[in-house]
Structure 1
């Protein structure tokens, strides 16, 4: 049995006022428990799609459904949606506004009018999940870029959403910061949060995601990460290149070095496993 679809757009189109149509007749769903990478060229509609899924925008045509039920855009309906689906924008400064980290993370739970004890528990849980407990009282304007990103994500997960949507979460982070963030996302997934990541990095998408969605001028195409990222024609439509792992595997096969028919490795370790060990008895030069 396939995993349930938590949130979905069906036949959805959107155009900004006095602007061209950004998305047209989009069918898109987020399956529970799947890490989903959303890819496409600049202007393909990734940010618009994420805002539609989180209720920040309303489709001009089509509908948004939450756990199989149409979303109503009144206060009650939007509160239900936003406690289930949370969007974290690419620039954390677009979301941080409180004086301290703890105050910022507590905003969502307080807005739900939860009891004080519940608010404190959620803040402590979110700070611990993002490894920023030590920053609780630090003014947000004194945080590093990576710390601000973590604070913005903590504010989202303090609402305990079932779906967390991240817009380019690794952008602007150094390699160590990226690895720490990916480890954090792995922990969130283990705790039951479904994570969606918009990115331009096809190598990261291949390594991290279970599924990928490619936004192209002809529509949105979703499928298993390795198989979908091996579809050269779709990648070209989306303005993307082949992930290095898939390209390397194809080159090795072309030279008869590997016979595995899998689409390609996700990591350097998986690539090494594809290559047969050197034959024994090969003379070594003095």
Structure 2
């Protein structure tokens, strides 16, 4: 059986801003259906540029953008097809929210598709429910907290029913509780079949959340399973990223014979607590909580 092409794919892509050096050169990056992909790199590495190339906000200076294996045409028809398949949520929600209320903002995209009013209402209701902000439907956007604005911006993208949701640093500026609520919402979207790509420089978040990673380093883009890529210390050093907490803990446990080869490493303090409890049932968690 022939494998399906990636939903969206950059092939040999390069880009430079006007009068500037190349930001990206000869990049191959494929987004297959049903995966959670973390795009990693230090500030200035080109993460945001790559996301905008994937979503059609920028046009490749060289190479090509493919949608379902076919090169994207940058005309109205081609971009409409791309943007009903791929949606980008920018880092600052204030760059994306503009309507008077949350429901009005979320409805903007579906209305621009010319959908029937009943279909628009249904999409808005489902998007608000998916992000757990139904109670905020009539709230003025300027009265939302930062975390609420983040989720409202994502709901606007979700209402377009994209197959691929791309987010630029979605957890930046959120407190731990806000991050957990957002990750819960993203888990629900994935269960409904949405492919999610998240740009971040938080290696612990990437290791915990993603299936695969794409890492921008001075030597180019490297892709692979997230645990393998983030276990490559030389690669992380070259990309100027710190080593994930979970990877370091796993190596320490294996060095002392406490974690068998092939056993998954604890990726969060909570997973470490749960693992420790299997060694001494009823013992307090190692992170200090009973």
Number of residues of Structure 1 aligned to a counterpart in Structure 2: 279
Is 1:202–1:241's contact at 8 Å kept on the other side of the alignment? yes
Q: Does 1:252 align with 2:241?
A: no
Match of 1:116 in 2: 117
Is 1:3–1:33's contact at 8 Å kept on the other side of the alignment? no
Match of 1:103 in 2: 104
Is 1:127–1:154's contact at 8 Å kept on the other side of the alignment? yes
Cα deviation digits, residues 1-21 of structure 1 (max 9, x gap): 767411000000000001110
Superposed, 1:65-144 pairs within 5 Å as: 65-144=66-145
Q: Does 1:164 align with 2:165?
A: yes
Cα deviation digits, residues 11-66 of structure 1 (max 9, x gap): 00000001110000000011110100010011100000000000000010000000
Give the CA deviation at 1:241: 1.6
Q: 1:258 & 1:144 partners in 2: Cα distance?
A: 42
Secondary structure of 2:23's partner? strand
Q: 1:63 & 1:4 partners in 2: Cα distance?
A: 15
Match of 1:59 in 2: 60
Is 2:266–2:272's contact at 8 Å kept on the other side of the alignment? yes
Structure 2 gaps of 5+ residues are: 281-290
Match of 1:277 in 2: 279
Match of 1:232 in 2: 233
Superposed, 1:11-90 pairs within 5 Å as: 11-90=12-91
Is 2:91–2:172's contact at 8 Å kept on the other side of the alignment? yes
Larger mean CA deviation between 168-177 and 269-278 belongs to 269-278
Q: Does 1:197 align with 2:187?
A: no
Is 1:38–1:212's contact at 8 Å kept on the other side of the alignment? yes
Secondary structure of 1:240's partner? coil
Is 1:10–1:27's contact at 8 Å kept on the other side of the alignment? yes
Q: 2:134 & 2:258 partners in 1: Cα distance?
A: 49
Q: 1:170 & 1:127 partners in 2: Cα distance?
A: 18
Give the CA deviation at 1:262: 4.9
Give the CA deviation at 1:128: 1.0
Match of 1:242 in 2: 243
Change (3 A) 1:66 1:146: same
Structure 1 gaps of 5+ residues are: 279-286
Match of 1:282 in 2: none
Q: 1:7 & 1:217 partners in 2: Cα distance?
A: 24
Larger mean CA deviation between 245-254 and 113-122 belongs to 245-254
Change (3 A) 1:258 1:129: closer
Query: What is the TM-score with the length of structure 1 in the denominator?
Result: 0.93
Larger mean CA deviation between 231-240 and 265-274 belongs to 265-274
Cα deviation digits, residues 158-217 of structure 1 (max 9, x gap): 100000001111111111111010000000000010011111111111110000110111
Is 2:5–2:69's contact at 8 Å kept on the other side of the alignment? no
Query: What is the TM-score with the length of structure 2 in the denominator?
Result: 0.92
